[in-house]
């Protein structure tokens, strides 16, 4: 009797595994093929290639609809950089994640689609877009990526999802910037982003991300269409380099210094003062 019961349980488990596997396979057929490495299409107009609106040069040429207060912050950031500083982009020198939305301008991305969650891997950063129908949480820990909830849409009714709609909310960690000039988001870190991801109807190797930013530093919502090209290499070369590797910038308070090859701090600005050494015992010069 025991042997018979065990055999029956094993047979039931196998049957459930087969049924579950078939259900997962059928469910997976609903989702578009986003496999592979996706390279951001960022035409270079001189200067930095990574920018929020890929159709325009970075910095002021982005024509961000900034409120006057934040236009001034951007101008001050670029002025500080012209003197050798980092401006509003100082966290980059600390290797702190860029977060949303600048992480979506990264050169290479990977999309991992499951029924419950879609993952976007960008270098060492990871976004989780929950598509399991969960409500918005009431207590969210601040992050650079924000909290994302999405839903899949079958627009043409062929049984396969065409569009992933996503909303990402804060609170965020910050400050965050759109690009290397320090083009700022509001320091209250309460941005909201709405995105639509979909494959181009004429080219299945071209992915669109229509993204709209709602931020208190803007006079109106800012929308752009970011595009990504699928790498034809079936075995792409994924970057495994961390920002901290080979980073020679040293940030002390609000000042940035450079670590020379012989291990000494160098100024990055003309007539820059050395760090405050009040907590170190000063070496006295012998008389």
| Same domain assignment for residues 182 and 265 | no
Rounded to the nearest 5 degrees, what angle is found at the Cα of 67, between the Cα atoms of 194 and 147? 25
20 found inside a domain: no
Same domain, yes or no, for 119 and 150?
yes
Whether residues 194 and 285 share a domain: the answer is: no
Parallel/antiparallel/unpaired status of strands 163-169 and 37-40: unpaired
How many folded domains does the chain comprise? 2
Residue 204 sits in the same domain as residue 255: no
pLDDT in the model for residue 15: 43
DSSP per residue, 196-234: EEEEETTEEEEEEEEEEEE-TTBSS-EEEEEEEEE---S
pLDDT higher than threshold 50 for residue 24: no
Instruction: With respect to residue 275, please indicate whether it lies within any of the assigned structural domains.
Output: yes
Rg of the chain, C-alpha, whole Å:
24
Residue 278: which domain range?
248-287
Q: How confident is the model at residue 87 (pLDDT cuts 50, 70, 90)?
A: very high
**Structure confidence at residue 240 (pLDDT):** 79
| Residues 184 and 268 reside in one and the same domain | no
Q: Is residue 4 part of a domain?
A: no
Q: How confident is the model at residue 44 (pLDDT cuts 50, 70, 90)?
A: confident
Tell whether 280 is covered by a domain. yes
Which tokens sit at 86? 């980092």
186 in the same domain as 65:
yes
* Residue 246 in this model has a pLDDT that exceeds 90: no
Angle at 94 between CA 93 and CA 99, to 5 degrees: 95
Q: Is 29 helix (H, G, I), strand (E, B) or coil?
A: coil
Across all residues in the chain, what is the average pLDDT?
A: 88
Claim to verify: residue 201 and residue 278 sit in the same structural domain: no
Shared-domain flag, residues 79 and 182:
yes
Query: Is residue 1 pLDDT above 50, yes or no?
Result: no
Residue 30 lies inside a defined structural domain of this protein: no
Question: Sorting pLDDT into bands at 50, 70 and 90, what band is 277?
Answer: confident
Residues 128 and 263 in one domain: no
Highest-confidence range of 9-18, 122-131, 221-230, 248-257, by mean pLDDT? 221-230
pLDDT: is 124 or 80 the higher one? 80
Query: Tell me, what's the pLDDT at 10?
Result: 46
Distances from the Cα of 113 to the Cα of 12, 28, 29, 177, 231, angstroms: 30, 9, 11, 28, 18
Task: Indicate if 178 and 209 belong to the same structural domain.
Answer: yes
Quote the strand ranges of the chain, DSSP E.
37-40, 108-113, 117-122, 125-130, 147-153, 163-169, 192-200, 203-214, 222-230, 249-252, 255-259, 265-267
Q: pLDDT-based confidence at 18, cuts 50/70/90?
A: very low
pTM over 0.95: no
Predicted local distance difference test score (pLDDT) of residue 232: 96
Q: Give the containing element (helix H, strand E) for 22.
A: helix 2-28
Any domain includes 32: no
Residues 282 and 169 reside in one and the same domain: no
The reply to whether 11 falls in a domain is: no
Q: Does a structural domain hold residue 7?
A: no
Please give the share of the chain, as a percent, with pLDDT higher than 90.
69
Q: Are residues 97 and 135 in the same domain?
A: yes
């Amino acid at each position: 009797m025991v042997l018979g019961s065990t055999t029956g349980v094993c047979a039931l488990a196998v049957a459930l595994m087969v049924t579950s596997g078939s259900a997962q396979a059928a469910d997976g057929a609903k989702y578009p093929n986003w496999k592979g490495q996706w390279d951001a299409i960022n035409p270079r107009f001189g200067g930095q290639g990574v920018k929020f609106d890929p159709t325009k040069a970075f910095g002021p040429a982005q024509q961000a609809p900034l409120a006057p207060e934040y236009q001034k912050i951007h101008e001050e950031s670029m002025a500080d950089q012209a003197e050798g500083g980092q401006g509003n982009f100082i966290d980059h020198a600390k290797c702190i994640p860029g977060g949303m939305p600048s992480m979506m301008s990264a050169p290479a991305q990977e999309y991992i689609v499951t029924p419950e969650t879609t993952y976007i891997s960008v270098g060492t950063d990871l976004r989780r877009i929950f598509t399991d129908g969960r409500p918005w949480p009431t207590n969210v820990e601040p992050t650079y990526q924000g909290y994302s909830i999405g839903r899949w849409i079958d627009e043409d009714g062929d049984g396969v999802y065409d569009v992933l709609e996503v909303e990402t909310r804060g609170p965020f960690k910050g400050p965050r910037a759109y690009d290397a000039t320090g083009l700022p988001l509001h320091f209250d870190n309460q941005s909201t982003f709405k995105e639509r991801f979909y494959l181009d109807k004429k080219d299945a190797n071209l992915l669109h991300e229509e993204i709209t930013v709602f931020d208190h530093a803007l006079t109106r919502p800012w929308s752009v269409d970011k595009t990504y090209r699928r790498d034809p290499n079936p075995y792409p070369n994924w970057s495994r380099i961390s920002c901290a590797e080979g980073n020679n910038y040293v940030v002390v308070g609000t000042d940035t210094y450079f670590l020379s090859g012989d291990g000494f701090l160098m100024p990055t600005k003309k007539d820059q003062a050395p760090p405050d050494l009040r907590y170190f015992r000063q070496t006295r010069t012998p008389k």
